[in-house]
Amino acid sequence: MWTDLGLDLEAHAGLMNVLGSFYTDIYLTQTNRPKGMEYLDFVISEVHGLRIEELLAAKAQGRKVIGAFCLYVPEEILIAADAVSVGLCAGADIGTAQAEQVLPRNTCALIKSFFGFKLAGLCPYVEACDFVIGETTCDGKTKAYEIFNQYKETFVLEVPHTKSPAATKLWRSEIGRLVEKVETAAGKKITAANLLKAIETVNAKRAVLGRLNLLRAADPAPISGRDALLINQVAFYDDPVRFTKKIGELCDELEARVAAREGVAPKGTPRVLLSGCPMAIPNWKVPFLVEKNGAVIVGEESCVGERGTRNLVDLTGVDISDRDAILDRIAERYFKIDCAVFTPNADRNLHVREMSARNHAGGVIHYAIQFCTPYLMEAHGMEQTAREMEIPLLRLETDYSMEDAPQLETRIQAFLEMIR
Amino acid sequence: MRAAGLDIGSRSVEFVVIESETGRVVHEREIPTGPAMAEECRLLVDEAPFDRLLATGYGRSLVEVSFGFPTVTEIKAFGRGAQAAHPGCRMVLDVGGQDTKVISLNGAGKVLRFEMNDRCAAGAGRFLEMTAAALRYEIDEFGAAARQGAPGTVISSMCAVFSESEVVGLMTKGSRREDIARAVHDSLARRIVSQMRRVGISPPIVFAGGAARNPCLRHLIEQDIGQALVVPEAPQRIGALGAAMLAAEASA
């Protein structure tokens, strides 16, 4: 299977080894873990195994596999065309040397990582894809997709940077262009009926993640931040229906824990909200360092977190036989996402306030990937927001390497000393 | 009761023992950081008896693992140490070997905010050591020599290693040694002051760490921010002193 996909077998085996021991250290050493996390352990153990086989089986049935790197790509449209939507590998310091042959060194770790995975032949997902969908969020990604297209067909969605009426119209027209592209590629019509079904599937997935996030308001916290992050990461590439069912079961277990006042850490453990850049698999460095030092993360104001899951497609009052009206609602839903590339972007500050208050965070850790200008810039406004809330905020700027772990740990420990 | 603090920095290790009840220092010693850190720390702490010890600094987790000493971050230790050296202090500047910390305090030693330089020694004491060596100065005379230099020579690099090559470049162009020394201090002071402004300047300010003994650096920072810096008697021991104070309070 791997040779057919064109992976570098030796390097891939090395990656799997590292990932395995990394996962053991960060995940399997946790105590009081919910039993429902066994499903996630299984998914991770098969991340480059069974799930890839499933994708290849789908392809064999004539279905398309379409990859994406960003929240602005509407899964509903892909699913409506009976395609499989997968989030692509971008969370490890891998293939950096190859990536730096085509990209400037001062490029963020996420972009270098998706290039590295592709150029080093290490991501079976990107190889299994028929094409990938990029988007004009930050300048780095926008320009990187031009180059990426030389290695893998990349369809780029134009994401405007304001939410003006003209920008809103542009975004809606981009949704139309995507529908045409997906219909042509999949050889299937996207109808009102199959859109409705896809919306139901994706709304259910987002709703179960919303339920999980609400349960984390309890003290003691019923689940660690690491595990919650992992669930959000897996949401990008697992089968959505199976995932929703399994996470629903996990939430039942967590509900029982909350009722019994049980948790992963004692009541009164310092509680932290993470806010900022996405953490793609296996980017677990900061959450691990935070929780290893005696705190619990109670929310992710992040692309891999509530930014990606908080809004459902709202079909209230819509004519369910009107495909364009349904697409309007999809466009509206995605245009609510508060990515830092938008200006102004006050919704993000509002969400940090809401999440901190709702899940009782004693402090905010603002996480930005080095060279990610939009989030690094927004750290300033977040500091003001935190001051207004009278809780401390720690700004962290890092990449995917592990070399700065001791320095990060010192800052994190000092920050936790402040909120204890 | 005796309480001890051990501050294992990237360039030196400081050991301070105090009388818990009075805070009076009864023993203090400093050694350079070496390759056999655990053994050297063991010998150091065996020099004087104590009831309880807290370790801090860059190497704190090493002694935690090796000897089971509890630890505290340098941020908290310097905050407490500065409060002990100068009660009521609202801000601590610590220019250490590999990092520079700016801590704002509530006036009773509690940390309100802090900033540390990132991943790079260009804003820290090691930068002075490297450039002093390139200019053939002893580190203790570097600040005094820089005060003889004229302003106007500029070092722009944001990186300690590249700054060293800028220094060499200036030498080959025939710049005066004192003027280059001055430029090095200007560059470091600028970086430190911008870090201080991020946290918000609030006097009284204690200047700790080995670089506090450098008269030129102190003068340039004071001039820029328009505030006097309080340099304690042994600025490099503030971290160890703070750890000892916290050890005393924890056992009280």
Helix, strand, or coil (residue A87): strand
Within this chain, do residues B44 and B154 fall inside the same structural domain, yes or no?
A: no
Does position B119 have pLDDT exceeding 90, yes or no?
no
Within this chain, do residues B114 and B169 fall inside the same structural domain, yes or no?
A: yes
> In degrees rounded to 5, what are phi and psi of residue A364?
-120, 135
CB contact under 8 A, B74 and A418: no
Q: Tokens representing B16?
A: 């301070």
> What is the number of domains present in chain B?
2
Chain B residues touching A392 at Cβ < 8 A: 112-113
- Residue in chain A closest to B115 (alpha carbons) equals A411
DSSP class of residue B2?
E
Which whole number is the average pLDDT over A171-178?
A: 98
Which whole number is the average pLDDT over B128-152?
A: 93
Does position B19 have pLDDT exceeding 80, yes or no?
yes
C-alpha distances in angstroms, A25 versus A21, A226, A399?
6, 12, 20
Decide if B7 touches A, using CB distance below 8 A. Answer: no
Which whole number is the average pLDDT over A230-237?
A: 96
pLDDT tens, position by position, A392-402: 999 999 999 99
| Mutation site for B-interface testing, chosen from A289, A413, A415, A420 by largest number of B Cβ within 10 Å | A413
Chain A residues touching B112 at Cβ < 8 A: 392, 418
Which whole number is the average pLDDT over B98-112?
A: 92
Element holding A31 (H helix, E strand): none
d(CA A188, CA A194): 11
Based on its alpha-carbon atoms, the radius of gyration of chain B, rounded to whole angstroms, reads 18
Within this chain, do residues B130 and B207 fall inside the same structural domain, yes or no?
A: yes
DSSP string, B41-89: HHHHHTTS--SEEEEESTTHHHHHHHH---B--HHHHHHHHHHHHSTT-
Residues 390-419 of chain A with CB under 8 A from chain B are: 392, 397, 404, 406-407, 410-411, 413-414, 417-418
Chain A residues touching B117 at Cβ < 8 A: none
What torsion do the CA atoms of A313, A250, A267, A270 make, to the nearest 10 degrees?
-50
pLDDT tens, position by position, B162-214: 778 888 899 999 999 999 999 999 999 998 999 999 999 999 999 999 899 99
What's CA B100's distance to the chain center, in Å? Answer: 7
Which whole number is the average pLDDT over A363-373?
A: 97
Identify whether the C-beta of residue B180 lies closer than 8 Å to the C-beta of residue B128.
Answer: no
Within this chain, do residues B65 and B96 fall inside the same structural domain, yes or no?
A: no
Task: Find residue A273's DSSP bridge partners.
Answer: A299, A364
What's CA A342's distance to the chain center, in Å? Answer: 18
The predicted structure's pLDDT at residue A386:
97
pLDDT tens, position by position, A21-69: 999 999 999 999 999 999 999 999 999 999 999 999 999 999 999 999 9
Within this chain, do residues B215 and B183 fall inside the same structural domain, yes or no?
A: yes
Q: Tokens representing A92?
A: 């490890």
Within this chain, do residues B114 and B204 fall inside the same structural domain, yes or no?
A: yes
Identify whether the C-beta of residue B101 lies closer than 8 Å to the C-beta of residue B123.
Answer: no
Which whole number is the average pLDDT over A248-258?
A: 98
- Residue A414 has its nearest CB partner, among B61, B75, B119, at B75
Within this chain, do residues B21 and B129 fall inside the same structural domain, yes or no?
A: no
Residue B118's pLDDT band (boundaries 50, 70, 90)? Answer: low
Within this chain, do residues B142 and B40 fall inside the same structural domain, yes or no?
A: no
Within this chain, do residues B20 and B130 fall inside the same structural domain, yes or no?
A: no
Tell me what the pLDDT averaged over chain B comes to. Answer: 92
DSSP string, A253-315: HHHHHHHTT--SS-TT--EEEEEES---TT--HHHHHHHHTT-EEEEEEETTTHHHHSPPP--
Instruction: Please name the residues in contact with A10: beta carbons below 8 A apart, sequence gap of 6 or more.
Output: none
Within this chain, do residues B92 and B123 fall inside the same structural domain, yes or no?
A: yes
The predicted structure's pLDDT at residue A342:
98
What's CA B180's distance to the chain center, in Å? Answer: 23
d(CA B205, CA B227): 8
Does position B2 have pLDDT exceeding 90, yes or no?
yes
Within this chain, do residues B165 and B244 fall inside the same structural domain, yes or no?
A: no
Residue B158's pLDDT band (boundaries 50, 70, 90)? Answer: low
- Residue in chain B closest to A380 (alpha carbons) equals B198
Which whole number is the average pLDDT over A136-164?
A: 97
- Residue B119 has its nearest CB partner, among A407, A410, A417, at A407
CATH of the domain at B74: 3.30.420.40
pLDDT tens, position by position, A309-360: 999 999 999 999 999 999 999 999 999 999 999 999 999 999 999 999 999 9
DSSP class of residue A26?
I
Q: Tokens representing A416?
A: 């936790």
State which residues form the domain around B194.
88-231
Decide if B92 touches A, using CB distance below 8 A. Answer: no
Identify whether the C-beta of residue A269 lies closer than 8 Å to the C-beta of residue A296.
Answer: yes
Within this chain, do residues B179 and B127 fall inside the same structural domain, yes or no?
A: yes
Higher-confidence residue of A420 and A145: namely: A145
